[in-house]
Amino acid sequence: MFKFNLSGKMFTFPQQTSTTEVRFTTQRQDMRAVTVCLRSFTDLKREHSLFSLALPTGANGFLIIKSAQSDAFDIWVREQHVKIEAQDFKLNMWQSICATWDASSGLIQLWLNGKPSSKKYTSSGHSINGPMIIVLGQDQDSYGGGFDTKQSFQSFVGMMEDVHMWDYTLSPCEIQGYMDEHYYPEGNVLNWNSVEFQSVGRVLIEEKLRACN
């Protein structure tokens, strides 16, 4: 499979469906820490999946869900769940989102548009281990599938870009660099500028939306 440079591009998911997804390929099979960053744009008020990493041992290896509650996210790590609240999520605006987790402490933290959440405990002592399937656009209810358009964790509708994943926790300054679209290290697990992926269904690759000068 070829690697693609998606710099200056975005994925557009234009309709609710259980058959549309973007699937990333990675050879990494063991992570004792994780940072995932992405930018999303949507008008969805219902729950929807932003990032889904599944393992043969469990579908919720690392999962970021925007809750139907307007100011909340649900984060899953190794089948353990925590709710992050008091987040100023805006509809029909680009939202920069980063989530970090470290196995030694078990702490997870969400950053939204440059503002960090309180740290919360999820799962510690064990790494995210095994062949990983990473999907945008759907919540994996089973390893690599189980998509259901009628379930509460429904498909994503909107645009998404600048998806990166690291096997360590970025520093606050590095995360701020991502939020501001200034310098930040490229992901060493998923790198938007050199990534292997497969799209299924009606997913469009378009130029990024930016204000005219």
The tens digit of pLDDT for each residue in 18-73 reads: 889 999 988 889 999 999 999 999 999 999 999 999 999 888 899 999 999 888 99
| Residue percentage of the chain with pLDDT more than 70 | 92
| Predicted pLDDT at 177 | 97
Q: Which helix (H) or strand (E) holds 174?
A: helix 172-179
Quick: pLDDT tens for 184-203.
999 999 999 999 999 999 99
CB contact at 8 A, 49 and 138:
yes
pLDDT tops 60 at residue 164: yes
- Residue 48: which of 161, 204, 152, 188 has the closest Cα? 152
Q: What residue type is assigned to position 22 of the chain?
A: V
pTM: 0.93
| Predicted pLDDT at 213 | 57
- Residue 125: which of 77, 82, 171, 187 has the closest Cα? 77
Quick: pLDDT tens for 26-41.
888 999 999 999 999 9
Q: What is the mean pLDDT of residues 96-110?
A: 96
What are the structural domains of the chain?
Answer: 9-200 (2.60.120.200)
Label residue 170 by pLDDT band (50, 70, 90): very high
pLDDT tops 50 at residue 152: no
